[in-house]
Amino acid sequence: MITLTKKTGAVAIAFLLLMIPVKNNAGNISSGKSPLNAVSAANSSNATESRALVLYETLKLGSMGLTKAAFDYAFKGYEYLQKKGMLARASVLTICDFSQSSRRKRLFVIDMEDKKVLINTYVAHGKRSGSEYARKFSNSPESHMSSLGFYKTESTYYGGHGLSLKIEGLERGFNDKADARNIVIHGSDYADAAGRSFGCPAVPVSDVNDVIETIKNGSCLFIYHPTKKYLTKSKILNG
């Protein structure tokens, strides 16, 4: 007879939950006022948190420098977008953890199907967002600040920085002006030297081809910072 402790039992259940595919619930759901719906919503939230915990620990993301908060929010939004059918390439999740110093490798590209980290490298934030640490964010043109939230990657093109990747901001008021601001992923000589951009999540020239080819055409990108306004107002995180 096998006896599970409370901790090992919870991890075992969480692992099983991680193996359960995420499916879109097309049924009619009431406003959520009934106790049954409240319990269902709580269970769904707990299941998401459990899957996130197992994946975070399995990939040893903490030892690589990705904060658990950044991953938890990224995972929650990723599942939301996946359920909504908004991701053409749901197998890849990219996280920019702007709670970290720009001197650290704070961009993580994760294979969500094979459960492995594909790329971990540097990424720049906007020059007016802060120096070593990003502290301020904006969706306004000419702000030269980074914009928080969820994006969907689009097509590539060749511009002044060489191979570049367009990204679509999915959150009104936070990053939906990304296209108008020409916010794209591109290579730079300063990204791995704590340099700053005009608002683009620029990556080292040595990594830009791998990053773009891995995440282009419909995958999820999340730019994180523990800014209360974003975390409490994001419709994706609070939907």
Q: Judge whether 25 lies within some domain.
A: no
Cα(130)–Cα(132) distance, integer angstroms: 6
* Per-residue model confidence as pLDDT tens digits over 52-105: 999 999 999 999 999 999 999 999 999 999 999 999 999 999 999 999 999 999
**Does residue 180 fall inside a structural domain?**
yes
Query: Is pLDDT of 136 > 60?
Result: yes
Among 28-32, 170-174, 199-203, which stretch is predicted with the lowest mean pLDDT?
28-32
What mean pLDDT is predicted for residues 130-145? 96
Q: What distance in Å separates the CA atoms of residue 90 and residue 96, rounded to the nearest whole number?
A: 17
**Do residues 166 and 201 both lie within one domain?**
yes
Give residue 67's pLDDT.
97
User: Is the same domain home to 44 and 105?
Assistant: no
One domain for residues 45 and 84: no
Residues 204 and 137 in one domain: yes
Which pLDDT band holds residue 191 (cuts at 50, 70, 90)? Answer: confident
User: Is residue 27 assigned to a domain?
Assistant: no
- Integer Cα distance of 140 and 57 in angstroms: 37
Task: With a cut of 60, say whether residue 1 has pLDDT above it.
Answer: no
Average pLDDT over residues 26-40: 49
Q: In sequence order, what are the residues at sequence separation of 6 or more whose Cβ sits closer than 8 angstroms to the Cβ of residue 233?
A: 173, 174
Same domain? For 127 and 218 the reply is yes
Q: Give me the number of domains the chain comprises.
A: 2
Helix axes 35-58, 6-18, angle to 10 degrees: 90
Domain enclosing residue 41, as ranges:
7-18+34-58
- From CA 44, how far away is CA 24, in angstroms rounded? 13
Model pTM greater than 0.75?
yes
Provide the percentage of residues in the chain whose pLDDT is more than 70: 81
Let me know whether 122 and 42 are in one domain. Answer: no
Does a structural domain hold residue 156?
Answer: yes
Pair 51, 157 in one domain: no
Task: pLDDT band for 37, please (50, 70, 90 cuts).
Answer: low
Q: What confidence tier does 195 reach under pLDDT thresholds 50, 70, 90?
A: confident
Domain identity same for 193 and 98: yes
Residue 41 shares a structural domain with residue 143: no
CATH of the domain at 195: 2.40.440.10
In this structure, the answer to whether residues 44 and 76 fall within a common structural domain is no
Amino acid at 79: E
